Structure 1
Amino acid sequence: MTLKLADWRRDWTLMSAFFYGDEIALIHEKLKNLKIENLAYCSFENRFARAGGLAAVTTNILPYLKEVNNIGAVLLLTPYYPDLMNKSKLRPTGISFAVNFNRKTIHVEIYKYTWRYKSPVRGSLPEYYLKADGFFEVKDKSKDPYIYNEQDSKANDVALSKNAVFFSLAVPLAMKALGIRKDIVFHLHEWQTSLISLTAKEAMLNGTLESCGTLQTIHNSFDSPVSWRLLTGIMDRSRKQKLAEFPGEDLSAYQIGLGLVDAPITTVSTNFAAEFTTDVLMTEHFAPHLQSIFRKSSVYGINNGTFVSISDKYPKKETHTIEEVRAIKLKRRKSLLSILSRYKPEERFGELTYQGGSITRLPDNVPIVVMSGRLDPLQKGYDIFLRAIEQFQEDEIKVILTPMPVDYSDLDYFYEAACKCKGNITVFPFKMQRGYRELQEGATFGVMPSIYEPFGAAVEYMASGTVNIGRATGGLVDQISRNCGFLYREDAVFYTLENITAFIESADIVQMRKTNPWAESMADNLYDVMKKAINVYINHPEKYYKMVLNGFEKAEGFSWGVNAKQYYQVYDMIRS
């Protein structure tokens, strides 16, 4: 499947604020003659520092970008987080360079991890980690590379912005130090790397690099202001003089980066791309300041590949018979119930029972429902799910929750729901050491009640033989179709900027989130679709198991190979 990029036109309106006419002409000439021989994938997340989907993408896509597109060199450029790295797996390259940052000379060392991959063919590629004293010193116990100060959000934002600007300045210098100076594509991810679209152009003009182009992938709509003081602190005298002519207030990282990028703006799913200019959550709350850029340049969705393979319990995949799938599914369910009856670490709370006795006695017609992932109150929708669960009777369903909290106070509502729904809910507030695979494969339904979802993990449930229930938002719309899962949406009358703002501003107050009219409508509609799904499971089992089979087929349609080819199309637009 090819992207339709014919209508895209480069919008360099902002270029004249940063560069003179002769400089713009020279940059354009260098881009026109660029060869795609070196791909530098720039990310604040990596295999040792994970906050969400970006790390998962980073640890899957690079071999496909290299091998499918036959690019000579593909590498990762990422920060070295002293407190997060697995130092035994990283090796010093012996290469270092200096960065002039805010009138100080900062010494940067390059560390290397060699990724030896088996797909799509056997090969290897380098990951380079930039280490600088005083930078990237995150302190978060959950290994979140964006948390510098857990107690003070404003101080954290300032620190993150400073580190992002420093990284953007260091990246072109790192490429020079590595001996790679021309025919470079910088693939930028999230706002933390977006200013490389500026520093890369400066690098071409001052001779640090010979030729390089940039493109941006947005995995989330978050952005950050960048003060002129911080920005001009990394500029040479000529650039400072040019910026002095710029009218108006500070711009954000994306307002600068997306205004200077050399190729179409991309994101990680087709539907999420459309939502940037159609969904009130994006247009009025998260990204109103970016609407002119999005509408002029458009945002192009490139669906991620799948992060897991079809479970080996289903060797025939979608060619299994209904009866074969039913037998396998019930066997995995039995394994799950056995583990749940025995695996009781002290952090777990809420006991699953059936008629007051052992959960192993649970009849096959009582559905098991699971929700897993980060406990992000403003994205993942755990509150919505808990409110829906409270409406079920004892032994009507069984629910397993595996939230991974940043702050254990976020679990307050979980404790409340576990008490209210005694026997129906168990909570594992950590990464399970046992039983996670059985949970994915043995559950009847996997629920994703996301507030927004750039891509999502619906495909992972499908690949495990579990039917999805999800809110119709973002990438979940691309993944869940009527023949393999269930989508729902709240009543439109409650989806207003007023309710959205109140919900987000009550991030730390669960009781206020619960009673928000928008949240109540999401929970009520989730309850309704769960009742519908349960009816299919109990009264129309052939339809349910057919959905499992359809899920296998749908999951296989998400390919990193296709993803890599589509990104190459975007790389090629740099030369247009």
Structure 2
Amino acid sequence: MHITFCAVEAVPFAQTGGLGDVCGSLPLALAKRDVSVTILLPRYKFIDAKKFGITPVDKHLSRAVLSPNLDVYFIEHDYYGKRDGIYGDNGDDYPDNLERFQYFCSRVLKTLEQLRKKTDIIHCHDWHTALIPIYLKDQYKNSSLASARTILTIHNMAHQGVFPRERYPKLNLPATYNSAHYLEYFGQINFLKGGIVASDKVTTVSQQYAKEILTKEFGCGLEGVLKSRREPVEGIINGISHDVWNPATDQKIARTYAKDELMHGKTANKAKLQQLLKLPQRDDAPLFAFVSRLVHQKGVDLILEVMEQFLALDVQVVMLGTGERQYEKQIKAYTDKYPKKIWANFEFNDSLAHQVYAGADFFLMPSRFEPCGLSQMISMAYGTVPIAFKTGGLADTVESFNAALSKGDGILFNRFTKKDFFQALRQAIDIYGDQEKFYTLRQNALAADFSWEHAAGEYIKVYQCLLSA
């Protein structure tokens, strides 16, 4: 079985978020299970050819080999090679993103035909690659690619690739596709909509999110298109890399620790974190952490709503991340007012993030919506207990703690309100005060399996099912 991954981000070459994690880590996990995988990416200006052993194939293409079962091909063009960013600069999208990603989609199929590699499944990711299933149907009916099946994975319904309809001629498609059945969307063109209609299979990144995007609240205007498909959308939880996020081997934390060293490891890392951040070194006060973008989706406003009330309790808070200036200003006001209780940094620091995951007692994740989420999985891998709103991937990966049954690995709140969130925080403080309960909760969190190996097995089932249909 040969799978071709088409994406505009993939670690270790290019990444701005979770999409890059998936499109770099999942192919590696599949390759370890003897699946032959090719990744196609744009060759961005910042990708270091020497560092990654990238060699030219021709003027349109270059190549790197990651493992015996995994090749990476880079589409060469000034659209990518002469720009500093992936999507834009200084927070603004490039005005020619339609042309940039149209070219990538078109070139992917030309490249696959040129390489003459057997391609069973073309796995597309998000709107940037959603034209590929349409081009395959329209322009490759009599090609060696004609039998290839397509999967589109939606990582976030809010990002759809919507452009003015007058730019449709740039897509080099017949008028048939400039219709309500394919790309037309309220007088505009919508890349993601076209991909949903044309793909053989649509997946997303959690079972709960697969249900949510069929509703008006989360479907972002495409819930009807998703419902019209004959096959239901399938949700598969992402994984995390245990080569990167593993307290037993992590060289970025003060003290590594295995499962049987949990309490000693957490205590040492908490003390080091408090020392680094100049917080009082106290083990009797629970330390709550937030590592994320400071944006509306992540529920930063909800944290700020309870902050004054929360800091009146015997707690410490650490916040790490970049984002909206209004949130930075409000958080800064609290760090100035309560320097011994809250610390914040508005520049992302990877090494510090590792130490925060290892040193914190609880991890705050009150996201309004979360297709999958990685931070809750990372925190659990370090024995740090997530406190999360019950939505999307958070609902699938975090089980609320039941002390009577000694079950559960986190704390969930069901309504997105100040009252419910604060109640979850109080519950965390109460559990922290009972060391036996807290130890059980931490052990449960540490025992959760969110490996890419598990996710790869689920995707292999989807691939096999699609090929046998």
Q: TM-score, normalised by structure 1?
A: 0.71
The letter for the 2-side match of 1:484 is D
Q: How many residues align?
A: 444
Decide whether the 8 Å contact of 2:55 with 2:64 is kept in 1: no
1:160 aligns with 2:94: no
Give the equivalent residue in structure 2 for 1:562.
454
1:473 aligns with 2:391: yes
1:412 aligns with 2:374: no
Distance in 1, matches of 2:322 and 2:446, equals 27
Give the equivalent residue in structure 2 for 1:369.
288
Which stretch has the larger CA shift, 250-259 or 215-224?
250-259
Give the equivalent residue in structure 2 for 1:56.
21
Q: Per-residue deviation at 1:448?
A: 0.6
Give the equivalent residue in structure 1 for 2:208.
271
The letter for the 2-side match of 1:183 is T
Decide whether the 8 Å contact of 2:4 with 2:119 is kept in 1: no
Decide whether the 8 Å contact of 1:453 with 1:475 is kept in 2: yes
Distance in 2, matches of 1:158 and 1:289, equals 24
2:358 aligns to what SS in structure 1? Answer: helix
1:485 aligns with 2:410: yes
Q: Per-residue deviation at 1:210?
A: 4.8
Distance in 2, matches of 1:488 and 1:53, equals 24
1:255 aligns with 2:193: yes
Distance in 1, matches of 2:455 and 2:385, equals 24
Decide whether the 8 Å contact of 1:339 with 1:435 is kept in 2: no
Decide whether the 8 Å contact of 2:206 with 2:235 is kept in 1: yes
1:379 aligns with 2:273: no
Alpha-carbon displacement from aligned partner over 1:62-98 (angstroms, at most 9, x marks no partner): 1222332x33x3111111122x3234324554333xx
Distance in 2, matches of 1:373 and 1:553, equals 24
Q: Per-residue deviation at 1:452?
A: 1.1
1:77 aligns with 2:40: yes
1:470 aligns to what SS in structure 2? Answer: strand
Alpha-carbon displacement from aligned partner over 1:112-144 (angstroms, at most 9, x marks no partner): 23324xxxxxx552211211124475444xxxx
1:374 aligns to what SS in structure 2? Answer: coil
The letter for the 2-side match of 1:302 is I
1:527 aligns with 2:422: yes
Alpha-carbon displacement from aligned partner over 1:215-260 (angstroms, at most 9, x marks no partner): 111110121225555444343xxx6264578787444112211111
Decide whether the 8 Å contact of 2:288 with 2:316 is kept in 1: yes
1:547 aligns with 2:464: no
Distance in 2, matches of 1:559 and 1:327, equals 25
Distance in 2, matches of 1:340 and 1:429, equals 14
Distance 1:240 1:423, change over 3 A: same
Distance in 1, matches of 2:358 and 2:275, equals 14
Q: Per-residue deviation at 1:447?
A: 0.8
Distance 1:459 1:256, change over 3 A: same
2:322 aligns to what SS in structure 1? Answer: strand
Given candidates 240, 246, 253, the residue that maps to 1:306 is 240
Alpha-carbon displacement from aligned partner over 1:302-351 (angstroms, at most 9, x marks no partner): 11123335421443x3xx4xxx643433232222222223xxxxxxxxxx
Give the equivalent residue in structure 1 for 2:403.
none
Alpha-carbon displacement from aligned partner over 1:19-52 (angstroms, at most 9, x marks no partner): xxxxxxxxxxxxxxxxx3x211011112232121
Distance in 2, matches of 1:368 and 1:260, equals 48
Distance in 1, matches of 2:188 and 2:266, equals 56
Decide whether the 8 Å contact of 2:56 with 2:63 is kept in 1: no
Given candidates 49, 59, 78, the residue that maps to 1:133 is 78
1:233 aligns to what SS in structure 2? Answer: helix
1:445 aligns with 2:362: yes
Given candidates 81, 88, 97, the residue that maps to 2:50 is 88
The letter for the 2-side match of 1:112 is R
The letter for the 1-side match of 2:205 is V
Give the equivalent residue in structure 2 for 1:115.
66
| RMSD of equivalent CA atoms | 2.7
The letter for the 1-side match of 2:435 is P
1:75 aligns to what SS in structure 2? Answer: strand
Distance in 2, matches of 1:214 and 1:444, equals 43
Give the equivalent residue in structure 1 for 2:88.
147
The letter for the 1-side match of 2:4 is A
Distance in 1, matches of 2:145 and 2:368, equals 42
Distance in 2, matches of 1:281 and 1:366, equals 38
Q: Per-residue deviation at 1:524?
A: 3.4
Given candidates 387, 392, 397, the residue that maps to 2:310 is 392
Distance 1:134 1:460, change over 3 A: closer
The letter for the 1-side match of 2:328 is L
Distance in 2, matches of 1:94 and 1:435, equals 37
The letter for the 1-side match of 2:389 is R
Decide whether the 8 Å contact of 1:138 with 1:146 is kept in 2: no
Q: TM-score, normalised by structure 2?
A: 0.86
Give the equivalent residue in structure 1 for 2:222.
289
1:536 aligns with 2:431: yes
Distance 1:66 1:471, change over 3 A: same
Structure 2 unpaired stretches of 5+: 249-255, 401-407
Give the equivalent residue in structure 2 for 1:66.
31
Q: Per-residue deviation at 1:574?
A: 4.5
Distance 1:136 1:150, change over 3 A: farther
